[in-house]
Amino acid sequence: MTHIDFVEQLLARMTLSQKIGQMTQTERMVVSPQQVKEFHLGSVLSGGGSAPAGNRPQDWVEMNDAYWAASMDADDEHLAIPLIYGVDAIHGNNNVLGATVFPHNIGLGAMNDPDLIERIAEVTAREVLAAGVEWTFAPTLAVAKNLHWGRTYESYSSDPALVSRYSGRFVKGLQGELAEHSVVACIKHWVGDGGTSFGIDQGDTAIDWQTLSDTHIAPYLPALEQGALTVMVSFNSWNGDKCHGHHHLLTQVLKQQLGFDGFIISDWDGIDYLDDDYLKAVELSVNAGIDMFMIADKWQEFIANLHSLVADGRVQESRIDDAVRRILNVKFRYGLFDRPRPSERPFSGDALFGSAEHRLVARQAVAQSQVLLKNDAQILPLSKQASILVAGRFAHDTGALAGGFTVAWQGQTGPDALPGATSVWSAVKASAPRAILSAQGDGIEADPDAHDVAIVVIGEHPYAEGMGDIRPDENQVVESGSKINGSLKVLAPYGRSLELATLHPEDLQTIQNIIARGVPVVVVLISGRPLLVDPEMAASQAFVAAWLPGSEGAGITDVLFGDKAFTGRLSFAWPSLSGPGFERGFGLSAV
């Protein structure tokens, strides 16, 4: 039987309740396995940081077994259709303790290596499968155009050409031939997420069609060509109209013109902002072309609303059938109908999860993503025989290096945030036996008789989404929001300025503590984006943009000590208070 016959025969047997259930996805915390069966749900997800107790791969496999078994428990009321479980594995399987955590996308952009991108996606897929999960909401194909945007680090580059060089390769690494070792990819967020006015998260992208197409749509093309099976809609609006209700962008452009035959999923309660009347919001979004709906608390209300819209003829059954056909097709093409329960799948609980082999791939990516911005008097590479003072807020912090979307939605800080991870201090100590850690981190013990050089690790603490926005002026929200049809959800921003000295004055103080005592400083900046760092750069002898490198801090010391060359190049232009900053493509080599 061809897969089309299979899907059509299944569809023909489904009741309206079963179809609407397939179109519904909700969060693990608000749904039991029994409800998955009762409401015939097509999917369950983990929102950022949501994990079963214990949070080890085995705990995830057990949880997924229970959901899967419920979805497959056929009786007179319920057809066996395997549930698909989705997670944000956006830099490795980052929700799970002990996972290999890769650099966030901005660092991967600086590494400019499509082969390594594909390998990273393969490793990520393997670690997702280890948890009994089959779907990741990745890769993000945003082309970030304003550094104020809190999601800038999820963007490989401000250059659509670089994002396009990666997009297809990442999807290939995840999905491969849709075989045993594959997971389903979800390219996001369609479309224009990186182009909002003032860089406001979930804001309005006010640009003409040509710019939208050339800048924000272009990177999707190689990913679609590679067969990306799912696409997530973006929270943003395009010229005032929300993507979640945008028939033209979802149905005409994506499905019809670009021939996308997988399914479209909404973002987290993304339909809420279309209209105050939820019934109307459901109507608009289903008719715009969304196939599966990511709904948190009010998923039962969504189901009830969609039933009544069909009964009233406001949503045609043909639209429901189209959505369900697409969902079943994806499940079929991925081979979900033939896969056994998660615990019996080949890579569940896989020993390669968080293994040395996988961590080496991440370490390589970290080393290649470091961008050297300044190296006076060739202070780098450092000698391993040097006596090195390691200071700064993030000197011995694994959580800060990983950033947002790591174990918790907003990320975490602290030396033990990520089991198995290596902080900069741990990595330095392993290479340079005479290194010492600054007691309070502030470097006041610096002493030229005792220390040849200091490494100072500073920067932004972890954040995710709108909580990473920089908003100099609250009027921007009013101005931006007033142009949007529907409502704008605004979170408290990270700060008011991109100046590090304003955001974290203690960082400059640490550098000054050390240079005032006569010890030269090498800065390692941990950040989700280029920051204004004029005084910090002026005071230091060498300056490295380390981005959000993830679990393998030794990738940083690989280049600091010259075991590997600095090959990273900026994938975003770097601003400066004094006028000229650094162009995209800039990066020194320390040889």
**357 classed as catalytic:** no
Q: Which of 67, 102, 137, 260 binds ligand BGC (CB under 6 A)?
A: 137
Rounded to a whole number of angstroms, the minimum distance from the CB of residue 267 to ligand BGC is: 5
CA distance 154 to 148: 13
Please list, in sequence order, all residues whose beta carbon lies within 8 angstroms of the beta carbon of residue 387, skipping any fewer than 6 positions away.
434, 435, 436, 450, 451, 452
Nearer to ligand BGC, 95 or 541 (CB): 95
Name the residue with tokens 């179109």: 23
* 299, 44 Cβ separation under 8 angstroms: no
Using N-to-C axis directions, what is the helix angle for 299-311 and 278-288, rounded to 10°?
70
Is residue 149 part of the contact set for ligand BGC (CB under 6 A)? no
Rounded to a whole number of angstroms, the minimum distance from the CB of residue 156 to ligand BGC is: 15
Name the residue with tokens 């948190």: 296
CA distance 53 to 47: 15
Nearer to ligand BGC, 403 or 443 (CB): 403
Six-digit token string for 561: 């000590």
Q: Which of 21, 48, 199, 342 binds ligand BGC (CB under 6 A)?
A: 48
Rounded to a whole number of angstroms, the minimum distance from the CB of residue 154 to ligand BGC is: 8
Taking CA atoms, 337 is separated from 130, 150, 341, in Å, by: 19, 39, 10
Q: Which residue is nearest to ligand BGC (CB)?
A: 137
Binding mask 433-472 for ligand BGC (x = CB under 6 A): --------------------------------x-------
Nearer to ligand BGC, 14 or 231 (CB): 231
| Three-state SS letters, 525-546 | EECCCCCECHHHHHHCCEEEEE
Rounded to a whole number of angstroms, the minimum distance from the CB of residue 46 to ligand BGC is: 7
CB count in 10 Å sphere of residue 579: 6
Is residue 299 part of the contact set for ligand BGC (CB under 6 A)? no
Six-digit token string for 125: 């897929």
Rounded to a whole number of angstroms, the minimum distance from the CB of residue 194 to ligand BGC is: 13
Nearer to ligand BGC, 126 or 188 (CB): 188
Nearer to ligand BGC, 215 or 230 (CB): 230
Rounded to a whole number of angstroms, the minimum distance from the CB of residue 239 to ligand BGC is: 21
Rounded to a whole number of angstroms, the minimum distance from the CB of residue 318 to ligand BGC is: 29
Taking CA atoms, 183 is separated from 47, 230, 341, 586, in Å, by: 18, 11, 15, 35
Nearer to ligand BGC, 156 or 268 (CB): 268
Contact positions with ligand BGC (CB under 6 A) in 411-440:
none
Q: Which of 267, 275, 350, 442 binds ligand BGC (CB under 6 A)?
A: 267
Taking CA atoms, 330 is separated from 185, 219, 580, in Å, by: 11, 22, 49
By CB under 6 A, the count of residues binding ligand BGC is 8
Nearer to ligand BGC, 267 or 272 (CB): 267
CA distance 529 to 13: 51
Contact positions with ligand BGC (CB under 6 A) in 164-203:
188
Query: CA 87 from chain center: how many Å?
Result: 10
Tell me the three state secondary structure of residue 29.
helix
Rounded to a whole number of angstroms, the minimum distance from the CB of residue 409 to ligand BGC is: 8
* 18, 379 Cβ separation under 8 angstroms: no
- Please report the sign of the dihedral spanned by the C-alpha atoms of residue 460, residue 464, residue 465, residue 467: negative
- Please, what is the Cα angle at 148 between 397 and 531, to 5 degrees? 50
* 331, 82 Cβ separation under 8 angstroms: yes
Is residue 268 part of the contact set for ligand BGC (CB under 6 A)? yes
Q: Which residues pair with 525 in a beta bridge?
A: 458, 545
Rounded to a whole number of angstroms, the minimum distance from the CB of residue 545 to ligand BGC is: 24
Sort residue 98 into left (φ over 0), alpha (ψ -120 to 50) or beta.
Answer: left
* Cis amide linkage into residue 222, ω under 30° from 0: no
Rounded to a whole number of angstroms, the minimum distance from the CB of residue 185 to ligand BGC is: 12
Please list, in sequence order, all residues whose beta carbon lies within 8 angstroms of the beta carbon of residue 15, skipping any fewer than 6 positions away.
none
Catalytic, out of 127, 267, 275, 507? 267
Nearer to ligand BGC, 27 or 536 (CB): 27
Nearer to ligand BGC, 486 or 581 (CB): 486
Catalytic, out of 269, 291, 465, 536? 465
**267 classed as catalytic:** yes
Would you call 511 exposed, middle or buried from its count of C-beta atoms within 10 A (0-12, 13-18, 19+)?
buried
Q: Which of 88, 122, 291, 552 binds ligand BGC (CB under 6 A)?
A: 88
Q: Which of 21, 33, 42, 47 binds ligand BGC (CB under 6 A)?
A: 47
Q: Where are the strands (E) in 421-541, listed by range?
A: 436-437, 453-459, 521-526
Nearer to ligand BGC, 202 or 375 (CB): 202
Nearer to ligand BGC, 145 or 451 (CB): 145
Rounded to a whole number of angstroms, the minimum distance from the CB of residue 497 to ligand BGC is: 25
Name the residue with tokens 């945007």: 149
Closest CA to 16 of 74, 69, 73, 79: 79
Residues acting as catalytic residues: 267, 465
Give the binding site for ligand BGC (CB under 6 A): 47-48, 88, 137, 188, 267-268, 465
